[in-house]
């Protein structure tokens, strides 16, 4: 048994970012072609395309503002013209803002989180689901966070956006399930990515104490779950919020 995505095309938003580029490479390793979305970091997006191409898969870069409906529809049209209709979308991009108390949080931070978490996912659904519905097969995967369950001080804007995202995805899963399209959420903890490796900050003892596995996970752990959700192995799983946090948060029944 293996994850086989041959013949599939995936769009990964924020594919030039810390988790996005590992996700794009992993989907390619499983056989998928990848539309590499970016907004500002073209150099890293070009590197992801080169990595995917080395794996023998097709890849192209596409620039879009995921907080703007017209831009996302342009992304859809460009991907369709250059690569075809994708069967897999991974909504990974997000705007990061400062973590400060509610009383000190600038209003634009909540607005940015709403746009990059909630509207981002709505726009991607409106853009790419019609083609999936016609083919009666599709995978919608979005990146949430363990913070949505923790609700720690300073996280209000981020948590508001991600919890709003959660509601939209659960409703969407019920609305498109009859078309054999699954909708699932991957919720990372504080993962080790290239930024931590380059700065030598992989070890975070204060955080690790709260994790049952007593360590931080890797970006690859997130990408592995995305690949699973993208495959036929998860064909009867939809509406899920799955934590990749070493047990730091545990969704309950």
Does the pLDDT value for residue 253 go beyond 90? no
How far is CA 206 from each of CA 71, 151, 160, 211, 214, rounded to the nearest angstrom? Answer: 41, 18, 25, 10, 10
Question: Considering the domain 9-244 in this protein, what is its CATH number?
Answer: 3.40.50.720
Residue 26 CA to residue 36 CA, distance in Å, equals 13
pLDDT in tens, 185-236: 999 999 999 999 999 999 999 999 999 999 999 999 999 999 999 999 999 9
* DSSP bridge pairs for 227: none
**Cβ-defined contacts of 222-226 (< 8 Å, 24+):** 222/19, 222/22, 222/23, 222/143, 222/186, 222/188, 222/191, 223/19, 223/22, 223/23, 223/25, 223/26, 223/27, 224/26, 225/186, 226/23, 226/26, 226/27, 226/90, 226/141, 226/186
Does the pLDDT value for residue 248 go beyond 90? yes
Residue 23 CA to residue 51 CA, distance in Å, equals 12
Query: What is the band of 55 on the pLDDT scale with cuts at 50, 70, 90?
Result: very high
* Mean pLDDT for the stretch of residues 10-18: 97
Residue 55 CA to residue 30 CA, distance in Å, equals 10
Angle in degrees, CA 221, 26, 47, rounded to 5: 115
Higher pLDDT, 13 or 97: 13
Annotated domain spans of the chain: 9-244
- In total, the chain counts a number of residues equal to 253
How far is CA 29 from each of CA 6, 91, 229, rounded to the nearest angstrom? Answer: 10, 19, 15
For the chain, what percent of residues have pLDDT higher than 90? 97
Catalytic residues: 158
Query: What is the band of 40 on the pLDDT scale with cuts at 50, 70, 90?
Result: very high
Residue 40 CA to residue 143 CA, distance in Å, equals 20
Does the pLDDT value for residue 1 go beyond 90? no
pLDDT in tens, 127-175: 999 999 999 999 999 999 999 999 999 999 999 999 999 999 999 999 9
Query: What is the band of 96 on the pLDDT scale with cuts at 50, 70, 90?
Result: confident
């Amino acid at each position: 048994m293996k994850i086989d995505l041959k013949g599939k095309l995936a769009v990964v938003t924020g594919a030039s970012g810390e988790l996005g580029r590992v996700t794009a490479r992993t989907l390619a390793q499983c056989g998928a072609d990848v539309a590499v979305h970016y907004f500002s970091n073209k150099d890293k997006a070009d590197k992801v395309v080169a990595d995917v191409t080395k794996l023998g898969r097709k890849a192209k870069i596409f620039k879009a503002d995921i907080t703007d409906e017209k831009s996302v529809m342009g992304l859809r049209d460009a991907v369709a013209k250059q690569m075809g209709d994708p069967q897999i979308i991974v909504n990974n991009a997000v705007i990061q803002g400062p973590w400060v108390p509610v009383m000190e949080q600038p209003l634009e931070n909540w607005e940015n989180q709403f746009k990059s978490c909630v509207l981002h996912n709505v726009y991607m659904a409106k853009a790419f689901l019609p083609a999936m519905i016609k083919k009666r097969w599709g995978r919608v995967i979005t990146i949430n966070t363990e913070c949505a369950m923790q609700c720690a001080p300073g996280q209000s804007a981020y948590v508001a956006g991600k919890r709003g995202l959660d509601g939209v995805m659960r409703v969407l899963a019920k609305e498109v399930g009859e078309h054999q399209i699954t909708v699932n959420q991957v919720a990372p903890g504080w993962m080790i990515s290239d930024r931590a490796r380059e700065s030598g900050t992989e070890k975070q003892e204060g955080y690790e104490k709260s994790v049952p596995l007593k360590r931080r996970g890797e970006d690859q752990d997130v990408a592995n779950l995305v690949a699973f959700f993208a495959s036929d192995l998860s064909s009867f799983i939809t509406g899920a919020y799955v934590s990749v946090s070493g047990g730091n948060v545990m969704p309950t029944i």
